[in-house]
C-alpha cells in the first residue's frame, strides 16, 4: 500500500495517509504510546538535527542507548543470545558493543 501513497499538499509522503489506508481496509492494529515514547518528525534538515540532539541528550543524561536494533530483535526473540553476543563482538569495545554485551548478559533492565 505504501507504493500507492501520493505526496500531500506539502509535497511529502505522509505516514497518516498510509495509516488511513490500513484503517479503511480494517487492517490497522495500533497501540497508544504511553509515557516514555516520543514521535520525532524528521522531514526537514532542521527537524532531523533537533531529533538527533534530543536522542543524544536522552542517551547522555540517562546513560541508555535509544532503539538499538540488535537489542530490539533479541528482546522480541527474533535473534538468539549467541547472535547478540556476535553483534556485540563486531562493535568491539565501543559503547554500543558494551551495551549489547550487557543486554546479552542480562545486566540491562527491560
Tens of pLDDT, residue by residue, the chain (110 residues): 999 999 999 898 999 999 999 999 999 998 888 888 888 988 889 999 999 999 999 999 988 889 899 999 999 999 999 999 999 999 999 999 999 999 999 998 76
Looking at residue 87, its pLDDT comes to 97
How far does Cα 53 stand from its chain's mean position? 15
Residue 51 lies in a domain: no
pLDDT at 37: 85
Cβ-based burial of 104 (10 A; exposed 0-12, middle 13-18, buried ≥19) = buried
Whether residue 54 is contained in a domain is answered as no
CA–CA distance, 56 with 59 (Å, rounded to integer): 5
Per the CB < 8 A criterion, the answer to whether 85 and 71 are in contact is no
* Structural domain contains residue 43: no
pLDDT value of residue 52: 96
The Cα angle at residue 62 between residues 50 and 70, in degrees rounded to 5: 80
Q: Is 90 helix (H, G, I), strand (E, B) or coil?
A: helix
Please give the residue range of the domain that contains residue 104: 63-110
Other C-beta atoms within 10 Å of 22: how many?
A: 13
Buried b (16+ CB within 10 A) or exposed e, 78-93: ebeeeebbebbeeeee
Residue 37 falls within a domain, yes or no? no
Q: Tally the domains of the chain.
A: 2
Amino acid at each position: 500500500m505504501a507504493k500507492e501513497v501520493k505526496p500531500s499538499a506539502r509535497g511529502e509522503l505522509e505516514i497518516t495517509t498510509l495509516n488511513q489506508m490500513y484503517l479503511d481496509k480494517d487492517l490497522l492494529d495500533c497501540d497508544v504510546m504511553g509515557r516514555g515514547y516520543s514521535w520525532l518528525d524528521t522531514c526537514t534538515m532542521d527537524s532531523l538535527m533537533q531529533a538527533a540532539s534530543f536522542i543524544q541528550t536522552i542517551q547522555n543524561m540517562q546513560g541508555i542507548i535509544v532503539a538499538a536494533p540488535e537489542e530490539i530483535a533479541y528482546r522480541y526473540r527474533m535473534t538468539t543470545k549467541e547472535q547478540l553476543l556476535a553483534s556485540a563482538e563486531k562493535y568491539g569495545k565501543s559503547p554500543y558493543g558494551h551495551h549489547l554485551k550487557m543486554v546479552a548478559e542480562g545486566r540491562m533492565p527491560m
